[in-house]
Amino acid sequence: MSGPKTHSWITDLNVYPAGKSKAVGVAEIHKLSANESALGPSPLAVEAYTEAALSLHRYPDPIYFDLRSALAEKYDIEANQIMCGAGSDDLLKQVCRAYLSPGDEAIFVAHSFLIYPIAIKSVGAVGIEVEDTNYTTNIDNIIAAINDKTRLIFIANPNNPTGTVIMKDEIERLWKNIPEHVLLVLDSAYAEFVEDENYDAGIDLVRRSKNVLMTRTFSKLYGLAALRLGWGYACPDIAQTLDKVRDPFNIPSSAQAAGIAALKDKNFEDNVIRFTNEWRRWLANELTALGLKVIPSVTNFIMFKFENKNKTAVNANNFLVQNGYILRYYSGQGLGNFLRLTVGTADENKTVIKLIKQFLED
């Protein structure tokens, strides 16, 4: 007797491969594989979260009014055009449910966030991967891939896992060259770390468009990864559409409270940005000095390549894990000889460089 059968496109759907956090036989682990904040959450966020725990018997605010108001005030945007999800991943999946049908096409860039092809395929649509240039989004390749079946375009900017970024004039050029019915999704999870004034996370373009969605997260800068809190900003029609497909009460009260408090702690936010960018530059310089190829990054992580055939990324990864340091190793995506290193604490950063140097010299 056979059981229920799922859709054909679900049968071989991949599960998102999260960064590892444990190693067999290793007592003390330093997890630098998931782009988490080295400094953790704001004390104000922790206090707000703890207080919210006293009301666990109550359902959360279903329209997260206070959280949207706090975001609107901070970014000077319209509260009714803000939507929230269980992490920005949730919003990306909502977009696919709302705007893709089986057979539709959605474009994403090679060496970008692995959730895109998974979310696209989960609704029976077809993912179209276009080549990047030097691990950076190539706008011309995206434009060339657009056809009558195209409904969505995903761009991670800054990009994960490579850490590269494109400026607002390139995003503008893409937007001007796509049909009005195609939705451009700007995944700006690492926007706060970008220092270049020629970068825009997407707020300005959303204000001028009816086919752009910007997504953001509280997991990186604000150190609230465990609470799974993300948000997006789009025109009223898109915001209302996503509100129809999201789950009710999809943002727990504790996450709402912590998010609101985190947005108010400007000193903590500035400290995280300063710490992260300083140590990212330090790590990049140290890795380059060791003869490794470093992809220029503007995020809280760095991708680097082992180009010596006798010193491979897989062997380096095994060595580091045995010594208690877990980085992100990619066996696929054409990144098999790269490792991705998240900025850690000062001691973690210094130690991981010493370990990599030891591996290269042994």
Same domain, residue pair 175 and 105: yes
Same domain, residue pair 76 and 200: yes
CATH number at residue 163: 3.40.640.10
CATH number at residue 19: 3.90.1150.10
C-alpha distances in angstroms, 113 versus 137, 189, 196, 210?
12, 11, 22, 24
Same domain, residue pair 96 and 214: yes
Final residue in a domain of this structure, among 205, 239, 265? 265
254-265 pLDDT tens trace: 999 999 999 999
Confidence of residue 21 (pLDDT cuts 50, 70, 90): low
188-226 pLDDT tens trace: 999 999 999 999 999 999 999 999 999 999 999 999 999
Same domain, residue pair 24 and 80: no
Domain extent for 338: 8-40+267-361
Same domain, residue pair 75 and 184: yes
Same domain, residue pair 183 and 276: no
| pTM score of the predicted model | 0.94
Segments of 52-164 assigned E as strands: 82-85, 105-109, 126-130, 150-156
Same domain, residue pair 161 and 69: yes
Final residue in a domain of this structure, among 245, 265, 285? 265
Same domain, residue pair 30 and 64: no
Final residue in a domain of this structure, among 226, 247, 265? 265
Same domain, residue pair 232 and 84: yes
Q: What does the pLDDT average to over 180-186?
A: 97
Same domain, residue pair 50 and 28: no
d(CA 188, CA 229) in angstroms, rounded, equals: 14
Residue 162 lies in a domain: yes
Same domain, residue pair 250 and 107: yes
96-125 pLDDT tens trace: 999 999 999 999 999 999 999 999 999 999
Contact 152, 107 (CB under 8 A): yes
| DSSP β-ladder status, 301-305 and 338-342 | antiparallel
